[in-house]
């Protein structure tokens, strides 16, 4: 039956949740689909979702990255410091800034695989290291580029014609496709599932598990950096608070999207849907007149409920999945 | 196999030559020489702690000998990883490491040796070819109970997992098969199936090294049985000499000799 096959897809649960939230928000407020709320929804969802793609790939291999939220601020801070303050060419500055993200990922991956320390601890350390560095770089200030015009800023943050959407959504579509392709269609994807499913057997079958994990840490940092640049280009500014809680929101999006906390299973599309679910809850509650940051309380409850539901339903519906 | 007068003195495809191995200052393998020829099933038995697992790891590329060499077709080789060993046709099937439960059966089957197809500059996993290859292997094994190769491998029994792993090694071009207690914790019927798989592999020309702690397990299929004790080979049996009673006497005798020395 079509419905039964559909229900076995990992993306089914979060999709139902997303549709439900959107319907409730639309029916009770009547303007969920207004241009203004769609802009709000997508600008939140794009950036969380792009970070969540990297986090998902990494979680499938059985590791976490708590430093992505700080990298999300770190990369645009370096980028904009170089081209706004030091008058560098924005392209060159961008390459240097993303190079810094690669470095962060390499260090995370190297320490985790070399010393066998839980990534939770290693990336918590990295979180503090980058937070301190961000503070050193811009302190309590905001770095703005309001009057700056450059193709890089257009590419990351411009509004698309007269639509409510901006460039971030194009990036999200492209990166979702790449992430899906890598995970579902390449040998790397198979190795990634195997690494998280069982490091011992994977090694015995010749899967380079350390290399897979290192690659994931780098991808995770770079995607967080790109996402941070998208946010910067959209807002034309960055403060140290950018990316606050993003490491946790990305993990939440991944878990809502059906990614296992223990590695071995998950999907990129599911996590993107999870990110839209988070953003819809936020926008929906704001439309309903809830206090600005109350949504995080709601999300906390939803997260735990979803995991309980997954555990209860897990064994019933996992047959036929990878 | 013994009935076919399997060639026990053919040149080995794969051999250890005077290999020793130490963990730090603790030497656990002492100058072992052991070869496996094509189509031959060699049983390697010994008590816990005799050095069986270490020997297996040396064969499979998990460990590098501290002394001595490995040779394939008479040519010295060095494995720096299990992947290197696999690329030269040495496949190991471990008791606990045979299968990743969460992965689908076909993904397990081709893990590390995935089939890919090219489309312009892109390379895709050839899922259809892998699914079909896996289905064929299951049919060959008579594992008709498995309804879908897309299902997770946790649905398979212990015997099915071992049989699948052995068949996987065969169909992926292995020349040497290393088996680590493949019938441990299996029912009689499952054991029979696994032994059939081993014989099928040997008939197809693979050399098989079958490691177990129990003579009774290896006796039905082995052309030659080697007994490992405290990191040394102390007894070697072929043909009709392969039976548990005889072996017990020999081992006791040999141990006395060694302790008298």
The two tokens of residue A256 are 């809502």
Mean pLDDT is lowest, of A150-164, B32-46, B110-124, B157-171, for B157-171
Q: Are B7 and B144 in contact (CB under 8 A)?
A: no
Per residue in A230-244, pLDDT tens? 999 999 989 888 888
Q: Is residue A3 part of a domain?
A: no
pLDDT at B44: 92
Contact check, Cβ <8 Å, B101/A321: no
Question: Across-strand partners of B5?
Answer: none
Q: Is residue A315 part of a domain?
A: no
Nearest CA in chain B to A181: B124
pTM value is 0.86
Rounded to 10 degrees, the C-alpha dihedral A95/A100/A106/A112 comes to -150
The radius of gyration of chain B's CA atoms, rounded to the nearest angstrom, is 19
Helix (H, G, I), strand (E, B) or coil at A203: helix
Among the partner residues B97, B103, B114, nearest to A322 by beta-carbon distance = B103
Determine the average pLDDT of the residues in B112-128: 88
Mean pLDDT is lowest, of A18-22, A265-269, B69-73, B214-218, for B214-218
Q: Is residue A51 part of a domain?
A: yes
The two tokens of residue A132 are 């301190």
Q: Which positions in chain A touch B152 (Cβ < 8 Å)?
A: 318-319, 321-322
Contact check, Cβ <8 Å, B102/A202: no
Contact check, Cβ <8 Å, A204/B81: no
Mean pLDDT is lowest, of A149-158, B84-93, B244-253, for B244-253
Per residue in A193-229, pLDDT tens? 999 999 988 988 889 999 999 999 999 999 999 999 9
pLDDT at A314: 61
Q: Are A100 and A75 in contact (CB under 8 A)?
A: yes
Q: Is residue A313 part of a domain?
A: no
Alpha helices for A116-208 (secondary structure H): 119-138, 151-157, 168-185, 187-197, 199-204
Q: Is residue A14 part of a domain?
A: no
Decide if pLDDT at B3 tops 50: no
Nearest CA in chain A to B87: A206
Among the partner residues B82, B102, B123, nearest to A204 by beta-carbon distance = B82
pLDDT at A317: 47
Max alpha carbon distance in chain A (Å)? 62
pLDDT at A106: 98
Q: Is residue A126 part of a domain?
A: yes
Q: B152 or A280, which is more confident?
A: A280
Report the residue of A196, A201, A211 to disrupt the B interface, i.e. the one with the largest count of B CBs within 10 Å: A201
Determine the average pLDDT of the residues in B238-260: 74
Domains in chain A: how many in total?
1
Per residue in B176-195, pLDDT tens? 999 988 888 788 888 888 88
What CATH number has the domain bearing residue A127? 1.10.3470
Phi and psi torsions of A73, nearest 5°: -90, -35
Contact check, Cβ <8 Å, B111/A194: yes
In terms of average pLDDT, the best of A93-97, B29-33, B143-147, B245-249 is A93-97
pLDDT at A62: 95
Nearest CA in chain B to A265: B102
B103 touches chain A (CB under 8 A): yes
Domain span at A103:
35-305
Q: Which positions in chain A touch B151 (Cβ < 8 Å)?
A: 319-320
Q: Are B65 and B57 in contact (CB under 8 A)?
A: no
Contact check, Cβ <8 Å, A194/B96: no
**Residue B104, CA distances (Å) to A2, A319, B39, B225 in order:** 21, 10, 31, 36
Q: Are B195 and B43 in contact (CB under 8 A)?
A: no
Max alpha carbon distance in chain B (Å)? 71
Contact check, Cβ <8 Å, B102/A198: yes
Q: Is residue A17 part of a domain?
A: no
Decide if pLDDT at B6 tops 70: no
Digit-by-digit pLDDT tens for chain A (322 residues) are 677 777 777 788 888 889 999 999 899 888 889 999 999 999 999 999 999 999 999 999 999 999 999 999 999 999 999 999 999 999 999 999 999 999 999 999 999 999 999 999 999 999 999 999 999 998 878 888 888 889 998 899 888 988 999 999 999 999 999 999 999 999 999 999 999 999 988 988 889 999 999 999 999 999 999 999 999 999 998 988 888 899 999 999 999 998 988 899 999 999 999 999 999 999 999 888 888 778 889 889 988 988 888 777 764 444 434 4
Distance of CA A154 to the CA centre of its chain: 22
- Chain A nearest-CA distance from B249, in A, is 37
Instruction: Assess: ipTM above 0.90.
Output: no
In terms of average pLDDT, the best of A1-10, A185-194, B165-174, B222-231 is A185-194
Contact check, Cβ <8 Å, B103/A189: no
Q: Which positions in chain B touch A317 (Cβ < 8 Å)?
A: none
Q: Is residue A322 part of a domain?
A: no
B116 touches chain A (CB under 8 A): yes
A223 touches chain B (CB under 8 A): no
Report the residue of B103, B165, B174, B179 to disrupt the A interface, i.e. the one with the largest count of A CBs within 10 Å: B103
In terms of average pLDDT, the best of A276-280, B157-161, B230-234, B249-253 is A276-280
The two tokens of residue B19 are 């290999």
pLDDT-derived band of residue B153, with 50, 70 and 90 as boundaries? Answer: confident
**Residue A146, CA distances (Å) to A49, A80, A134, A137, A155 in order:** 26, 12, 21, 19, 16
Contact check, Cβ <8 Å, B103/A203: no
B128 touches chain A (CB under 8 A): no
Q: B10 or B58, which is more confident?
A: B58
Q: Which positions in chain B touch A186 (Cβ < 8 Å)?
A: 123-125
Contact check, Cβ <8 Å, A319/B152: yes
A205 touches chain B (CB under 8 A): yes
């Amino acid at each position: 039956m079509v419905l039964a096959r559909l229900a076995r897809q990992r993306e089914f649960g979060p999709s139902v949740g997303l549709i439900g939230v959107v319907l409730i928000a639309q029916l009770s407020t009547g303007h969920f689909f207004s241009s203004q709320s769609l802009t709000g929804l997508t600008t939140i969802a794009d950036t969380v979702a792009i970070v969540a793609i990297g986090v998902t790939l990494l979680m499938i291999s059985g590791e976490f990255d708590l430093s992505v939220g700080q990298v999300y601020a770190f990369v645009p801070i370096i980028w904009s410091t170089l081209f706004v303050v030091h008058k560098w060419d924005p392209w060159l500055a961008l390459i240097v800034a993303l190079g810094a993200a690669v470095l962060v990922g390499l260090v995370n991956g190297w320490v985790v695989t070399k010393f066998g320390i839980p990534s939770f601890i290693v990336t918590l350390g990295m979180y503090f290291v980058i937070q301190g560095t961000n503070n050193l770089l811009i302190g309590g200030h905001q770095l703005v580029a309001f009057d700056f015009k450059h193709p890089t800023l257009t590419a990351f943050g411009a509004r698309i014609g007269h639509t409510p959407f901006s460039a971030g959504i194009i990036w999200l579509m492209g990166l979702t496709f790449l992430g899906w392709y890598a995970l579902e269609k390449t040998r790397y994807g198979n190795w990634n599932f195997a690494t998280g499913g069982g490091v011992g057997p994977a090694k015995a079958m010749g899967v380079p598990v350390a290399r897979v994990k290192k690659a994931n840490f780098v991808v995770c940092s770079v995607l967080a950096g790109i996402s941070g640049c998208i946010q910067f280009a959209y807002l034309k500014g960055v403060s140290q608070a950018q990316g606050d809680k993003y490491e946790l929101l990305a993990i939440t999006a991944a878990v809502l999207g059906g990614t296992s906390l223990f590695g071995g299973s998950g999907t990129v599309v599911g996590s993107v849907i999870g990110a839209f679910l988070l953003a819809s809850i936020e926008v929906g509650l704001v439309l309903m007149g809830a206090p600005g940051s109350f949504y995080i309380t709601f999300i906390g409850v939803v997260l735990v409920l979803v995991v309980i539901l997954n555990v209860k339903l897990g064994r019933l519906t996992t047959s036929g999945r990878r | 196999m013994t009935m076919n007068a399997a060639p026990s003195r053919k040149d080995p495809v794969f051999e250890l030559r005077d290999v020793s191995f130490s963990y730090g200052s603790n030497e656990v393998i002492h100058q072992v020489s052991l070869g496996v020829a094509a189509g031959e099933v060699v049983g390697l038995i010994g008590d816990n702690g005799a050095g069986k697992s270490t020997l297996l790891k040396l064969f499979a590329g998990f460990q590098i000998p501290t002394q001595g060499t490995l040779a394939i077709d008479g040519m010295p080789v060095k494995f720096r990883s299990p992947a290197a060993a696999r690329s030269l046709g040495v496949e190991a099937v471990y008791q606990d490491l045979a299968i990743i439960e969460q992965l689908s059966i076909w993904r397990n089957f081709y893990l590390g040796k995935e089939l890919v197809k090219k489309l312009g500059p892109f390379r895709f996993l050839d899922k259809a070819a892998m699914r079909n290859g896996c289905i064929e292997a299951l049919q060959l094994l008579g594992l008709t109970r498995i309804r879908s190769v897309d299902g997770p491998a946790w649905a398979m029994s212990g015997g099915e997992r071992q049989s699948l792993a052995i068949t996987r090694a065969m169909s992926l071009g292995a020349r040497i098969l290393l088996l680590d207690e493949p019938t441990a914790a299996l029912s009689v019927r499952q054991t029979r199936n696994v032994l059939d798989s081993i014989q099928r592999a040997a008939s197809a020309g693979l050399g098989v090294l079958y490691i177990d702690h129990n003579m009774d397990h290896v006796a039905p299929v082995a052309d030659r049985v080697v007994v490992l004790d405290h990191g040394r080979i102390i007894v070697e049996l072929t043909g009709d000499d392969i039976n548990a009673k005889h072996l017990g006497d020999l081992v006791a005798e040999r141990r006395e000799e060694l302790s008298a020395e």
